[in-house]
Structure 1
Amino acid sequence: MILEERDYHIVPGRMGDFLKTYETLGLDIQKHFLGEFIGHFVTEIGELNHVIALWRYESMADREARRAKMLAHEPWQDYLAAIKGMIQSQQTRILAPTALSPMR
């Protein structure tokens, strides 16, 4: 099992637009293709204008296969076009649980 942490730094003043567009155009597509959605979070203290999404996969191969199918889906391309200019930067990390983690 792995978790993917996607950290989007949203252009200041565009957070509401980004979240609404994701809710209406992106989330259902991702849930369909990517599988287990852990959560979607925003920051209120510290570095602002961040949205963090967490997804669970069985393995890197599982992640790669699921994401490839999603990227080929035309409505996903429409979503990407709709959020163009809203994201300043993105960081993606793959998190692997240690033996101490209850989530394995």
Structure 2
Amino acid sequence: MIADHRTHELEAGIVREFLALREKEKHPDTVVGFLAGDVGNVSAIMHISAREELAVGTRRRPAMADDPAERPYLQKSREYMNDIGNKMLVSNPISPTK
């Protein structure tokens, strides 16, 4: 398993608005968790998705950017964000998830 760990650094005070926007849009991710900062940066949202292979996201992102139906969401979500970070994490031999 590959975990796609994405961190959205949001403008201060708009976490609820961003989550409402994200919930309204049903993206085809295999979401493991949608987590919010509680200590430290409380304007950060961590989005973790499970992937079988790295190429899934590599194929999906350009297709989403080219989809006219996705453009309103992409434009609106950019208004909330200061930065986006991304990590791809892979299972190891002692992990309960393979």
Scaled by the length of structure 1, the TM-score of the pair is 0.83
1:22-74 Cα distance to aligned partner (Å, 9 max, x none) = 1113xx1x22xx4x221211011122211010111111122312333323222
Q: How do 1:51-66 and structure 2 match up within 5 A?
A: 51-66=45-60
What do you get for the CA RMSD once the two structures are aligned? Answer: 1.5
Q: Distance in 1 between matches of 2:78 and 2:57?
A: 24
Paired residues, number: 98
SS at match of 1:56: strand
**Structure 1: which 5+ residue stretches go unaligned?**
none
Q: How do 1:6-85 and structure 2 match up within 5 A?
A: 6-25=6-25, 28=26, 30-31=27-28, 34=29, 36-85=30-79
Scaled by the length of structure 2, the TM-score of the pair is 0.87
Q: State percent identity of aligned pairs.
A: 19
